[in-house]
Structure 1
Amino acid sequence: MKQLAEIHTAFIERADDVSLLNTPAVNALRHKAKAQFERHGLPGKKQEDWKYTSLWQLGQEQFVYQAAETTLDAETIDRLALVSEAYRLVIVDGVFQPELSRLTDLPQGVKLQAMSQLDADIADQLNQQIDLEKPGFNALNTMLFSEGLYLHIANDIRLSQPIELVVVNSGKPANLAVHLRHLVRLEKGAKATLIEHYVSANDAATGLNDIVTEVALAQDAQLEHYKLQQESVASYHVATMAAHQAAGSHWHNANISLGGKLARNDVHSRLEGEAAHVTMSGLYLVAGDQHVDNHTRIDHSVANTSSDEVYKGVLDEKSHAVFNGKVFVHKDAQKTDANQSNHNLLLSRGCEIDTKPEMEIYADDVKCGHGSTVGQIDMDQLFFLRARGLDEVSARSLLTFAFAVDVLDRLPSDEIKQALSTVIEQRLPRGAKV
């Protein structure tokens, strides 16, 4: 029986207007995606993966697609960027800004470009890590993506300087929809650090960022991959990040969500070679009526792979968070070592967390563990700090900060760790009496 879309939107009307990568192979992918989106539309709460996240309000928005010429200058981008010393690719309101980017002096064997600047057909690299038929935004992004980052690093090239993708919503025009597709490929023995940074130029900026990042790591490749979502609380952010990992590869993924009235992050790793390892670190800080939904999946497909996942959340006021993490150990994946945890700190009576860590195991020689906690500020710790001279507001703030930044201790880069710590300290909601 044909499945009808639960939520109808005007997105389909934009499908024929996208001209990026106008080749027969890419156009065939877009046509397939359009047919899927016509059938299913946006997922509704009847879908298991979306039962705690309503897209009804997003479906009612009237988004625009024509960006104005940017008035942002290099000084503004320097202020908004996370790190100062980095190769930098800047996209403002969905448009690549070469004059604001830093793409010179790249080592030989490193290709870093905006998708709009590519001169080769890359259709064979698209949709290799995502399922087009999965209910969600994969089809929408494939149908409408009009810019993005392309990164390819050749065998044994090790970048010492990070790459920062800075995606800015300037707020002009209001309610701008941006659909970006990023492709990241590291060949055998390559190593790099990539930061995806989504930020609003002002607190009133509205719109939608719809992102898909596809990562392919060849044998022994290593990628430190950071994503900082720092957009205004009046915007929408929906992102999928999916990786295929060959033998001996390491993917350290850190996902920090601070902004958005609604933010959804899907993170998926497929460990398909022995000794492949993934570390997933996540932190979400929400207040007001913000809603953040993190869905992760790790597939242990072969023997002798490992994963380590820790997500932490701080919720205040009437905010709502969702965590659904799944570790899938396939029947041939003996000697799997997997750990998963989700911890949440609730600062008010009005906030809510739906947490569901799960493991599905079909091998018998494994070492796996998972769990979750939900709690409030420890009164004994609060008393300890008060007894040493801190006022109550400062003591609560310090305990909240300590809980949140514990995730940062897992990050390999001291420079990025310090930069993120500063951002979190500025954004962190203060503890409140319950």
Structure 2
Amino acid sequence: MINTSSTMFHWRMLSREPEYPLTVVDTDIETDVAVIGAGLTGLAAALRFARAGARVLLLDAGRIGQAASGRNNGQVIPHYGSHTPQDIEAQFGPHRGAIFNRMVGGAADGVARLVRDHDLACDFVQKGWIQACHATSSVARVRAVYDGWKERGYQAEWLDRGAMTDHIGSSVFYGGWKAGSGGYLNPYAFCQGMARAAGAAGVDIRQNSAVLDMERVDRRWLLTCPGGKVFAREVMVAANLPQSAFWPGIDKVSVPVRVYQVSTGRLEPDWQARILPGREGVSDTSRVICAFRYDSDGGLAMVGQHTLWHDAANRGRRAVAARLRRVFPGLPLQMADRYWEGTIAAVVDRLPRLMALAPGLNFAGIYSGRGVALSVAWGDMAAGLALGDVAERDAPVPVTRLRTVPFHAFGVQYARYMHPRLRAQDRREVAQSENRG
């Protein structure tokens, strides 16, 4: 998420991690590896490079945690956005597909290890993640997801409609499954804690230091920042890039999707006992993003989308309150509490990318809204590829050249205005499910 609202947003206000000190590029710097983007992918990559003995400079155009890695819903999900494990092995073959599945299936436990090993104060709750069917039409697909992870030995529990009602405290869902290793955390605090760990490993982190231009000079990369130049043997791009122009075409590798989030005030104890009594995180299968979990104050944090963004904060607060009252009848909310916005990077197939842009210049990222767990594993793996510790044939996806979104301008407009059509489809499926009883 790119920052498009107040810098003092909900997760930052709740964070118990100290903010990483601000240091900018204010002179010329020599380094072995420059990592562009101090989100979770870049932080994980920088940490691996540093542990391998490299001098590492981590650059960010803004402040740590102010973009997608720190402003999302914080759900730690060991599953794809729109694929089953079976789909992945069919698409990439048994060898690469199995590697990809292991990475995704183990990503939440990987986050848990980082939190434990570095004592990250990010309010991590690992009580499971639930994918709930918003309509009967989604049950068969979700059952295939459950079967795929269960067959591969992961913690997966099928929930029929009655069990789903017990877990969520609502009867509006038609079944689904629970990933036992999933959970949620404060994403802003997680970013700050990861920065602390990277800094302790020797990574030189420079914020408010956008890369304006890049060129190859004498077998090194020359990066131009507002306050100075950076000379590096190797560069890894791990940033959210819709407005970047330091490399031709880099701004067209993904489509920006604007979303908002709202957190309610603290729910009364009797409502907390009824809603998500097991403290899982939830995402449903509707086309319009619907995900919610508790925050550390005992409020519910939920994701939403607008088509038109006038008076966005008030409209978002009212919309989330109305949706929560539909899911949890009787919940005494007239308007939800805190509101913030951002933009995620997405691609049509909803699969992350590995790209070799030029000798010594690589790209890793794009998670289409499922990056909290996967981005950490992805950044570590991408650094392993650059170091030669991971063979290209053992990467979870093939390494390609620059891969832009076809008809990018059309895709941007579609993403901006698709919300009404998707919402209508969701409502039609819900009505059909209700009519069937």
Sort the TM-score into its range (normalised by shorter chain): under 0.3
Greater strand content: 1
Higher helix proportion (structure 1 or 2): 2
TM-score normalized by structure 1?
Answer: 0.25
TM-score normalised to structure 2 length = 0.25
